[in-house]
């Protein structure tokens, strides 16, 4: 007899539910360690058919570790599973594990493609650099704001220009300098670390064939190319290239019920960071890139049609009045 296992994973403990022939045969908890969980499953469910758990902070580690233990691990979309789990009258970890075991037995779930650790290392590098960029911006804005309170307006400028302007303004303000200079020193250190990560990112992009191909497109730099390649991993993961836009969340959502049928806003599902980078790349192609391409001509034509339609609607309304 085959068993179906549901795992509700948390930081310290994991709730385990095992079903066989439409009935629950065992339920319990164990430490949130893949090796411990694998031992429990081997003992309680020697003929495991599916081991199902939801997407979460530890899902990548759990998936690869359980697969290495020889278990049929399946990571499913948490948003898709939520509708089924919410039907339980009481929200507990044990009930969630039961619900996941039900889904595993019925086969009613949406499996998620779990990324490899190499891709996650690349994504972590991009995320770390982006985090430092935000910290640098926040620190510089904070320095400007504090100094403005005391009538010291820092002129526009970045990098060493910003540093020199701040130091020059603080020459005759020793009490304020004792507060601002530690912030400025931290700003300098973080800028150096950000530059180091940026160089690593560019080097990785130059050594990766997929990134080199993507960077040949006007408006696509090392960050966007690396993020896109790490997210897609293998082009064969998508049967149609048009499916990538839906996976990233750039296609419109459709609502149809009875006589009502309309397309809404883009779904915004998927990688928020990658979606933002692609939006910026599209803006660069349309506004800053001087290289002519079929993509740029198509985008400019689309924008002109939108502007023309806006022009027509207000003219029609004005004439109507």
CATH of region 3-106, choose from 3.30.420.40, 3.40.350.10, 3.30.9.10, 3.10.20.30: 3.30.420.40
Say how many CA atoms lie within 13 Å of 5 toward its Cβ.
27
More confident residue, 75 or 217: 75
Among 198, 237, 217, 205, which residue's Cα sits nearest to residue 294? 217
DSSP state, 154? P
Q: What is the mean pLDDT of residues 236-258?
A: 85
Whether residue 315 is predicted with pLDDT greater than 70 in this model: the reply is no
**Chain-wide mean pLDDT for the chain?**
89
% of the chain exceeding 70 in pLDDT = 94
219 contacts 285 by C-beta, under 8 angstroms: yes
pLDDT at 319 over 60: no
Q: Out of 82-96, 153-167, 293-307, which region has the weakest mean confidence (pLDDT)?
A: 293-307
**Which runs of E-coded beta strand occur in the chain?**
3-9, 13-20, 23-31, 48-54, 73-76, 252-257, 260-266
* Angstrom distance (rounded) from CA 242 to CA 276: 18
Q: How confident is the model at residue 317 (pLDDT cuts 50, 70, 90)?
A: very low
Question: Mind listing the pLDDT tens digit for each residue in 175-218?
Answer: 999 999 999 999 999 999 999 999 999 999 999 998 998 888 87
Check pLDDT > 90 for residue 75: yes
Q: Above 60 in pLDDT, residue 321?
A: no
Residue 243 to residue 221: CA distance in whole angstroms:
23
CB atoms within 10 A of CB 229: 22
DSSP state, residue 22? T
Percent of the chain residues past pLDDT 90, beyond the cut: 62
**Of residues 259 and 75, more confidently modeled:** 75
Q: Which residues contact 31 (CB under 8 A, 6 or more apart)?
A: 12, 13, 14
Tokens standing for 209?
A: 């064939």
The tokens describing 97, both together, are: 């594990």
Q: Provide the H-helix boundaries in 52-173.
A: 59-68, 78-85, 93-106, 117-149, 160-169
pLDDT tens across 16-40, in order?
Answer: 999 999 999 999 999 999 999 999 9
- Phi and psi at residue 76, to the nearest 5°: -115, 160
Write down the number of H helices and E strands in the chain: 12, 7
78-85 vs 93-106: helix crossing angle, rounded to 10: 110
**What pLDDT was estimated at residue 310?**
58
Is residue 306 pLDDT above 70, yes or no? no
pTM for this entry: 0.83
Do strands 48-54 and 73-76 pair parallel, antiparallel, or not at all (unpaired)? parallel
Predicted local distance difference test score (pLDDT) of residue 264: 84
pLDDT at 260: 86
pLDDT at 269: 84
Cα-Cα-Cα-Cα dihedral of 297, 299, 300, 304, to 10°?
Answer: 130
Q: Where are the domains of the chain?
A: 3-106, 117-216, 291-321
| Long-range pairs for 306-312: beta carbons < 8 A, 24 or more residues apart | none
pLDDT at position 240 over 70: yes
State the pLDDT at residue 248.
Answer: 86
In this predicted structure, the answer to whether residue 120 has a pLDDT above a threshold of 80 is: yes
CA 303 vs. chain centroid, Å, equals: 28
Residue 314 pLDDT: 53
Q: What is the mean pLDDT of residues 162-170?
A: 95
């Amino acid at each position: 007899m085959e068993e179906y296992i549901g795992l509700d994973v948390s930081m310290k403990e994991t709730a385990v539910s095992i079903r066989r022939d439409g009935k629950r045969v065992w339920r319990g908890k164990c430490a949130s360690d893949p090796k411990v969980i694998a031992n429990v499953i081997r003992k309680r469910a020697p003929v495991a058919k599916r081991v199902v758990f939801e997407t979460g902070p530890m899902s990548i580690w759990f998936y690869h570790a359980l697969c290495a233990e020889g278990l049929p691990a399946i990571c499913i979309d948490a948003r898709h599973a939520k509708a089924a789990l919410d039907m339980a009258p009481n929200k507990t970890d044990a009930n969630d594990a039961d619900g996941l075991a039900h889904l595993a037995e019925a086969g009613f779930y949406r499996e998620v493609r779990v990324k490899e650790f190499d891709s996650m290392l690349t994504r972590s590098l991009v995320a770390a650099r982006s985090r430092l960029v935000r910290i640098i911006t926040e620190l510089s804005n904070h320095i400007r704001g504090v100094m403005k309170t005391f009538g010291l307006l820092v002129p526009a400028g970045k990098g060493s220009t910003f540093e020199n302007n701040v130091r020059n303004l603080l020459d005759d303000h020793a009490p304020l300098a004792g507060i601002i200079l530690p912030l400025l020193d931290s700003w300098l250190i973080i800028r150096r670390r950000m530059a180091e990560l940026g160089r690593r990112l560019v080097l990785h992009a130059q050594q990766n064939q997929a990134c080199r191909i993507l960077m040949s497109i006007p408006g696509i730099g090392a960050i966007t190319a690396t993020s896109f390649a790490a997210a897609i991993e293998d082009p064969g993961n998508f049967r149609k290239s048009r499916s990538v836009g839906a996976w990233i969340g750039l296609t419109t959502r459709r609502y149809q019920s009875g006589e009502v049928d309309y397309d809404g806003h883009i779904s915004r599902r998927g990688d928020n960071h990658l979606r933002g980078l692609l939006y910026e790349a599209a803006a660069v192609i349309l506004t800053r890139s001087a290289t002519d391409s079929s993509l740029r001509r198509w985008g400019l034509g689309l924008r002109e049609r939108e502007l023309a339609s806006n022009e027509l609607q207000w003219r029609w309304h004005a004439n109507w009045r």
